[in-house]
Amino acid sequence: MGVLKLFSNDVAIDLGTANTLIWMKGKQIVLNEPSVVAFDRTTKHIIAIGKEAEAMVGKTHRDVKIIRPLRDGAIADFEITEGMLRAFIRKVSLSWQPAKRVVVCVPSGITEVEKRAVRDSCEHAGAKEVHLIAEPMAGAIGIGLNVHEATGNMIVDIGGGTTEIAVIALDKIVADESIKTAGDELTIDVIKYFRSVHNILIGDRTAEIIKCQVGSAVPLEEELEIEVKGRDLVSGIPKAIRVTSADVREALAESVNEIVEAVITLLEKTPPELAADIYDRGIMLSGGGALLKGLDERIRRQTSLPVHVADDPLTSVVRGTGKVLENLVEYSAVLIKSSRY
Ligand code: ADP
Ligand code: MG
C-alpha cells in the first residue's frame, strides 16, 4: 500500500480552450501550457504541443498546421485533441508508470460524444479510471466555496472560448448559462477595432497584449495609453499609432455587455431561495477573462451584488480539479455521471 502511494501518478487536468493545466497528486501544478498543437497537414502527425507549438505560429512552412483544437469550448477536432491530451499526460508522467486515475475538467456544455472522446483519450494514455467534472464546478471548488452545503453560490468562469455561469448548491449545478463570448472574442474585437477605425492590421498576439494591458470594462481612474504597431491597410507599410484605454474599452463594449447580460439572465432564472443566498454572498469570477480591468466593478454596478475575483483566476479550475482528485470520496457527487460505467 505504502509503495503504491509513493509512486502514485494520478493527475487532474483542466482541458481549457486557451490553456491546459495538469495537477499531479502530491505535487500540485506540474504543467501550464497553451492548448495548441502543431501537426503535419497530410499525416496528422503531431509535431509539437503547448508552448513549443505556440512559438511556431507564423514561422512554419505550409505543410504544418497549428490549431487550438478546443477553440469554442467544445472539441473541434477529436483526433488532434486526443493527441494533444495524450502528449500532455505523457509529458508529466513517469515513463514507467502512466497516470492511473485521471480527473478531467470539461466545459459544462460538452456533448456525450465529446465526453466519450475525452474519456477514451485518457484511457489510451494509460488511465485506468477517468472522471469528468464540469468547469464551473471545478472553479467553485478551486476558489474554496463549499459546494456541499445547501447554500447557492454563483460562479462566472470567463475562459478563452466560453463564459460559463453556474449556480451551485448541494454538489450540483442548479442552473447554468454558457455563451461563446469570452476572451477570444474580446481579442477579435480589438483586431476589428484597429482594422475599421485605424485601417491597421494587427496580429492575434498584439491584440491580446493590448486587451490585457489596457483593456477595461469601466472607465479607469487613470486612463492608459499604448503604442500599437501593425500594417497600414492602405499603404501596406508598417505603421505605429497610439491609442488610449478609453478607445479599447469602446472596442470591447459590446462583448463585455454580452457577458454581463448573460450573468443577469442566469440571475433571473435562479430559484428564489438560491437567489437570496447569492444576494448575501455575491458572485465569484474565475478564468483568465476575470482579469480584464474593471470587469468585477462593471458586474457589481449592473447587478448591485458583491462581486469577487478569485485569487489567481487562471488556476482556480485546475486547483479545484486537483482537490477533487485528492478527495475523490468526499467529492464523488460533483462528478459528471458517466453513461458507460
Ligand atoms: P480556458 O479555460 O478557456 O483555457 P483561461 O481561463 O486560461 O481559458 O483564460 C484565457 C483567456 O483569458 C484568454 O482569452 C486570455 O486572453 C484571457 N486573459 C488572460 N489574462 C488576461 C488579462 N490580464 N486581461 C484580460 N484577459 C486576460
Ligand atoms: Mg477554463
pLDDT confidence of residue 298? 98
Q: In this predicted structure, what is the pLDDT of residue 339?
A: 60
3-class state of residue 134 by DSSP: strand
* Residue from 71, 110, 162, 211 whose mutation best tests the ligand 1 pocket (most atoms within 8 A of CB): 211
Enumerate residues with CB within 5 Å of ligand 2 (an ion): 16, 159, 317
Coil vs helix vs strand at 301: helix
Please check the confidence at residue 86 and state whether its pLDDT lies above 90: no
φ and ψ at residue 94, rounded to 5 degrees: -75, 130
| Predicted confidence (pLDDT) per residue in 258-291, tens digit | 999 999 999 999 999 999 999 999 999 999 999 9
The pLDDT value recorded for residue 108 is 79
Hey, whose CA ends up nearest to atom 14 of ligand 1?
A: 183
Of 109-118, 178-187, 213-222, 311-320, which range is least confident?
109-118
Taking the whole predicted model, whether its pTM rises above 0.85 is answered as yes
What's the CA gap between 40 and 341, in Å, rounded?
35
- Residue 1 CA to ligand 1 centre (angstroms): 41
Q: Which ligand is nearest to the CA of 183?
A: 1
Handedness of CA 166, 167, 172, 176 (dihedral sign): negative
What is the per-residue pLDDT across 194-225, written as a single tens digit (0 to 9) for each? 999 999 999 998 999 999 999 999 999 999 99
Radius of gyration in angstroms for the set of CA atoms belonging to the chain, rounded to a whole number: 21
Contacts of 195 (CB under 8 A, 6+ apart): 201, 233
What percent of the chain is modeled with pLDDT above 90?
A: 75
User: What pLDDT score does 7 carry?
Assistant: 44
Task: Quote the pLDDT of residue 289.
Answer: 98
With a cut of 90, say whether residue 321 has pLDDT above it. Answer: yes
Amino acid identity, position 214? V
Measure 166 CA to ligand 2 centroid, in angstroms. 14
Lowest mean pLDDT, pick from 75-84, 128-137, 245-254:
75-84
Mutational test site, ligand 1, from 187, 212, 214, 297, max ligand atoms within 8 Å of CB:
212
Q: Find the DSSP H helices in the chain.
A: 2-6, 50-55, 78-92, 112-124, 135-143, 183-198, 204-214, 245-269, 272-281, 295-303, 316-326
Q: What is the pLDDT of residues 110-167, one digit of tens each?
A: 788 888 888 988 888 788 899 999 999 999 999 999 999 999 999 999 999 999 999 9
Rounded to the nearest 5 percent, the helix, strand and coil shares of the chain are 40, 25, 35
Distance, CA 38 to ligand 1 centroid (Å)? 21
- Flag whether pLDDT at 34 surpasses 80: yes
236-241: long-range contacts at Cβ-Cβ below 8 A with a sequence spacing of 24 or more?
239/200, 241/198, 241/200
Position 180: which residue type?
K
